[in-house]
């Protein structure tokens, strides 16, 4: 059932279904409009609007007489082929890791979610694993003395996160846990943009629904160019700053700066 929040019902349904699609829950196809309307306790028109938005984003395909299904990796790649890619600078990971660990020492972590899921099309493509392979999903909120700073979702192949516990996630950044497990970290590719806070994120970050947040997508590789972590981070811009320095020879140095220590 959809809660009474300052967000349209169809958009709430869209957000729920998008998350479930990313987790690979509809491998056999999505329920029909009537079933979804019953599940969410809304009208069929509301469900249809949510599904249309998922179609527009290339996440599902609706076929007459055959129902609704998630798009395949090839279909998603084809849809993206005509789009101009966002800037995704490769960053030196050693300096970034040191900065992440340093900044984390002054914050506390709430582990919202830590569970095993199946890799979706998007995750499998990014992490170079087979679709439906086991992946460890972690959702955490990091806070400073000023309050919540970030809402971070990470996905790591289950074979690499073996032995990690919920307590480990509360005490150390995922990159530090990976490095301590013996993985030699290589490079990171990032895309930085903006996104509005949905109901769940708004509640965790203590902002209004629709507030503009800094959005970071980070794909981390090991020294052998194997992807080891996919991260989607949402940050309050009033409490977080991301700085980059680029030289003429292509070197990039990135730093995370909590706003409360800025001069």
Q: Where are the domains of the chain?
A: 9-81, 90-261
pLDDT of residue 263: 38
Global confidence as pTM: 0.64
- Profile the chain (263 residues) by mean pLDDT over runs of 10 residues: 57 84 83 91 90 88 86 66 50 57 73 94 91 94 90 95 91 88 86 88 92 90 91 88 55 52 41
| CATH architecture of the domain with residue range 90-261 | 3-Layer(aba) Sandwich (3.40)
pLDDT of residue 18: 85
Closest CA to 213 of 230, 203, 201: 201
Distance CA 256, CA 188 (A): 14
Those residues with Cβ within 8 angstroms of residue 248's Cβ, 6 or more apart along the chain or in another chain: none
Distance CA 143, CA 138 (A): 16
pLDDT of residue 74: 67
Phi, psi of 59 (to 5 degrees): -95, -25
pLDDT of residue 107: 80
Q: What angle do CA 77, 214, 135 make, to 5 degrees?
A: 50
Ordered alpha helix ranges (H), 2-112? 9-22, 33-40, 44-56, 73-81, 93-104
Those residues with Cβ within 8 angstroms of residue 163's Cβ, 6 or more apart along the chain or in another chain: 181
| Assigned CATH for 9-81 | 1.10.10.10
Closest CA to 73 of 22, 30, 127, 122: 122
pLDDT of residue 153: 95
pLDDT of residue 257: 53
pLDDT of residue 226: 93
The answer to whether 9-81 and 90-261 have equal CATH topology is no
pLDDT of residue 86: 45
């Amino acid at each position: 059932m959809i809660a009474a929040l300052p967000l349209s019902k169809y958009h709430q349904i869209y957000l729920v279904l998008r998350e479930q699609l990313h987790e690979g829950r509809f491998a056999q196809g999505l329920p029909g409009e009537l079933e979804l309307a019953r599940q969410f306790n809304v009208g069929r028109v509301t469900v249809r609007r949510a599904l249309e938005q998922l179609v527009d984003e290339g996440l599902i395909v609706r076929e007459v007489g055959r129902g609704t299904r998630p798009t395949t990796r090839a279909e998603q790649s084809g849809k993206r082929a005509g789009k101009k890619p966002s800037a995704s600078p490769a960053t030196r990971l050693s300096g970034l890791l040191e900065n992440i660990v340093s900044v984390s020492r002054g914050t506390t972590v709430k582990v919202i979610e830590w569970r095993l899921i199946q890799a979706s099309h998007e995750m499998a493509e990014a992490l170079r694993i087979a679709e439906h392979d086991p992946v460890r999903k972690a959702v955490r909120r990091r806070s400073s003395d000023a309050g919540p700073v970030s809402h971070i979702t990470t996905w790591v192949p289950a074979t690499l996160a073996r032995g990690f516990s919920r307590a480990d996630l509360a005490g150390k950044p995922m990159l530090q846990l990976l490095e301590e497990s013996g993985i030699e970290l290589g490079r990171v590719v990032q895309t930085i943009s903006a996104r509005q806070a949905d109901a769940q994120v708004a509640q965790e970050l203590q902002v209004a629904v629709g507030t503009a947040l800094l959005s970071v997508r980070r794909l981390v590789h090991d020294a052998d160019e194997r992807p080891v972590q996919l991260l989607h981070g949402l940050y309050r811009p009033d409490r977080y700053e991301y700085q980059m320095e680029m030289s003429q020879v292509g070197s990039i140095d990135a730093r995370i700066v909590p706003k409360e220590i800025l001069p």
